[in-house]
Amino acid sequence: MPESPPDQRKNPLHGVTLEMIVTALVEAYGWEKLGEMVAIRCFTHEPSVNSSLKFLRRTPWAREKVESLYLWHLRELKRAARES
């Protein structure tokens, strides 16, 4: 199997799809809390993974916010694991 380029090996989003990100955040926080954390309509009004994916794929600033929240979530999980 070919190796990833060096710059991608340390990228925590490498190999993670947008659907995986949205699903993980919904499982961790639920739609209501997610809508509070990232105030975008696709999370607050009749939310679904499919509608969110459509919006996030068309809207770079919203996708950046969601990816940033996901990275923060991963850091929090690692921190919690170290503390326990």
CATH class for the region spanning 19-83: mainly alpha
The residue among 84 and 58 whose pLDDT is bigger is 58
In eight-state DSSP terms, residue 3 is: P
Backbone angles phi, psi at 28, to 5 degrees: -75, -40
Give the model's pLDDT for residue 14: 87
What is the dihedral sign for C-alpha 14, 15, 21, 24? negative
What is the dihedral sign for C-alpha 21, 41, 50, 47? positive
Give the model's pLDDT for residue 51: 95
Give the model's pLDDT for residue 5: 61
User: What does the domain layout of the chain look like in residue ranges?
Assistant: 19-83
User: pLDDT tens digits, residue range 1-57?
Assistant: 455 566 667 888 888 999 999 999 999 999 999 999 999 999 999 999 999 999 999
pTM: 0.85
